[in-house]
Amino acid sequence: MADQDAAIVARCLKGDWAAFDELVRRHERPLYNGALRIVRNSDDAKDIVQGVFIRAYEKLSQYDPERRFFSWIYRMMVNASLNWVDSKRLQTDLDPELPFTGESPEAEFLRGEESRKIEEALDKLKPEFRLVVVLKYFGELSYEELGYVLDIPAKTVKSRLYEARRILATLMTDSGVTTYGTR
């Protein structure tokens, strides 16, 4: 997959910019879902991801082929989404927890009770823990790649993820999703 991306990037840099469409097709879903989980609004997530792809197009000559294309563009998406969240907080002076308006009521209904409770538990995590969980499970990046995306050591990613999973286990037990002892 990474090799395919590298080959497509090389085609783009040789002037075959129609090939960029293939990069968008391959990565729009995880990027959109990552942004959606951070900004919690589908329209804003779409705008952010479109902007990120256009920025990647503009900066493609600076891309380091030693790195996976996906982690490079994923990092851009995370930074753009976090900037958006920061600016939204400044504009509205709202509680840090922005309401999640990413899905229609029908879609939410279809997701089922357990998914809803996990989502609720996720919402209760501190932002830095939630971010690591979201990126790990929706981006499927390695610890090293997550460290690069978040600009923190891989070891910190690991410890945050463990702590986040532990808190989630407790929250899910409290909400009745699981009956395991976690304390």
Partner 1 sequence: MAHDEQDQAALDGALSNEEISRFKESLGADPQAALRFEALKHVDSSLRSLPTSPPPPDLREGVMRQIRLQQALAPASKAVRSAWWDAWFPARPAFQVGLGFALGVLVLMPLMKLTPTSFVDPASVTGTLATRDELVGSPAGHLDIVGPGLSGSLSSIVEGGMLTLQFRLASAGPVEAALEFEAPLLGLYSIQTDSPWAGSVEYSGRKLTLHHAGTTGYTIRLAMAPGTSPRMDLGIYRSAEAIFEAAVP
Which amino acid, 73? I
Phi, psi of 94 (to 5 degrees): -90, 170
CA torsion, ordered 81, 85, 86, 88, to nearest 10 deg: 130
**Residue closer to partner 1, measured from CB, 6 or 13:** 13
Is there binding between residue 89 and partner 1 (CB under 8 A)? no
Q: Which of 2, 113, 94, 109 is nearest to 40 (CA)?
A: 94
The CB-of-126 to partner 1 minimum distance in angstroms stands at 16
Is there binding between residue 128 and partner 1 (CB under 8 A)? no
Is there binding between residue 173 and partner 1 (CB under 8 A)? yes
Q: For 140, left (φ over 0), alpha (ψ -120 to 50), or beta? A: left
The alpha-carbon radius of gyration of the chain (Å, integer) is 18
The Cα–Cα gap between 81 and 37 comes to 9
Is there binding between residue 13 and partner 1 (CB under 8 A)? yes
Using CB under 8 A as the binding rule, the residues of this chain from 24 to 53 that contact partner 1 are 24-25, 28-30, 32-33, 36, 42, 46, 49-51, 53
* Interacting residues toward partner 1 by CB under 8 A: 13-15, 17, 20-21, 24-25, 28-30, 32-33, 36, 42, 46, 49-51, 53-54, 57-61, 83, 87, 102-103, 107, 111, 114-115, 118-119, 133, 137-138, 158, 161-162, 165-166, 168-169, 172-173, 177-178, 180-182
